[in-house]
Amino acid sequence: MAASGGDAPHAAARHHREPLPASYFIPGDKTYPEGIARQQGTPFFYVGSTSDGTIYRGDVHQSATTVFLPGGKDGRTSVAGMKTDRAGRLIVAGGATGKVFVYDTRTRALLHVFDTGRTDTFLNDVALAPNGDAYISDSIHPALWHITAAELKSKQVQQPLHVGVDLTNSRMVYDDGFNGNGLAVTANGRYVLLADYNDYAFYRVDLRTHQVVPVDLGGAKGVSGDGLLLRGNTLTAVTGLDHPEGQISVLKLSHDYTRAELVRTVHGHGMHSPSTAAVDGYDLLIVNFQFQIADPVLPFNVVRVHV
């Protein structure tokens, strides 16, 4: 997960900088933060509340976060996964609202609301493709949703959210509970890697042919993906499922993304039933979701973990 190293003088400069906080605090005792987006080229990251839709902004140099967008505005009553793109847009999956909200991070203006028009959905996570398209996982309805780069650039605010790949009758079977969850787009833009949270499984979804192929985990057990990060052929999966102390699984993928070898797992490091992560230099910023925990460890936070 490391960024490029740079030369010795720059490395020395980094060495003498003030250390970054190990934890970032999120206000509220009912916040239950789930998604996170690290905005490249800035010191900022964004975290959202599943309980009321508030979006918080943090600075990686400061331990406190502040409200960026209040909950309930624009019909945003709950949020899950999120990403920022190169144009400075914050793209937010709206969970059970069935909507994706898009904001300008500079002005806080609402740019778009993409609406499935369905009530049997839970829009869970967002992944960006190299061409600027966005893909959104759905934990309840068997679909991979798709927003094109052109739709994101348009001036039209209210737009329908279209199905990119229909997962009905595919190898990925939707059961009761949460199914599609963490996802990532491969560097060539050809595939989406999608986690099936229910079944501790991963699938390769071909965006051209719509073929869905299970990823062979080589016998590894208990590997789950609430959140996924992909760098080259290294897949990092974050979950709190069966692991209240958190689990980060690092997997090495085959060149065609159909096989994976579990390289190592990481537990602890201040994680409390985490959901997902964002890359910050050499570290991961891990969101401590604490889903369905009636007496969560407070304050809610994001922890910095070196993997």
pLDDT 10s digits, 66-112: 999 999 999 999 999 999 999 999 999 999 999 999 999 999 999 99
Backbone angles phi, psi at 235, to 5 degrees: -105, 125
Q: What percentage of the chain reaches a pLDDT higher than 90?
A: 93
Q: How far is CA 129 from CA 23, 184, 230, in A?
A: 29, 8, 12
- Tell me the pLDDT tens digit for each residue of 182-193: 999 999 999 999
Inform me whether the pLDDT recorded for 159 exceeds 70.
yes
Name the residue type at position 28: G
pLDDT > 70 fraction of the chain, expressed in percent and rounded = 94
Q: How far is CA 151 from the centre of its chain?
A: 21
- 114 contacts 146 by C-beta, under 8 angstroms: no
Q: In this structure, what DSSP letter does residue 73 have? A: G
In the beta sheet, which residues pair with residue 1?
none
pLDDT of residue 53: 98
Residue 2 pLDDT > 60, yes or no? no
For residue 10, the SS3 value is: helix
Q: What number is the average pLDDT over the span 137-160?
A: 98
Q: What pLDDT does residue 8 have?
A: 42
Cβ neighbour number for residue 61 with a 10 Å cutoff:
10
258 — pLDDT class (breaks 50, 70, 90): very high
Question: What would the DSSP string read from start to end of 282-300?
Answer: TEEEEE---TT-SS--SSE
Residues 6+ apart with CB under 8 A from 23: 63, 270, 301, 302, 303, 304
Residue 6 above 70 pLDDT? Answer: no
What pLDDT, on a 0 to 100 scale, did the predictor assign at position 33? Answer: 98
Q: How confident is the model at residue 59 (pLDDT cuts 50, 70, 90)?
A: very high
d(CA 130, CA 174): 28
Reply yes or no on whether the pLDDT at 140 is more than 80: yes
Q: What integer is the mean pLDDT of 237-251?
A: 95
In terms of C-beta distances under 8 Å and separation of at least 24 residues, what long-range contacts does 42-45 make, across chains too?
44/105, 45/278, 45/280, 45/285, 45/302
Alpha-carbon distance 234 to 186, whole Å? Answer: 11
pLDDT at res. 18: 81
- Count of Cβ atoms closer than 10 Å to residue 163 Cβ: 15
| Averaged pLDDT for residues 32-54 | 98
pLDDT confidence bin for 7, thresholds 50/70/90: very low
Residue 20 near residue 45 (C-beta atoms within 8 A): no
Report pTM.
0.93
Residue 292: band (very low, low, confident or very high) from pLDDT cuts 50, 70, 90: confident
Question: In which residue are the tokens 């070196």 written?
Answer: 306
Q: Is there a contact between 112 and 131 (Cβ–Cβ < 8 Å)?
A: no
- Preceding omega of 142 cis (within 30 degrees of 0): no
> How far is CA 248 from its chain centroid?
14
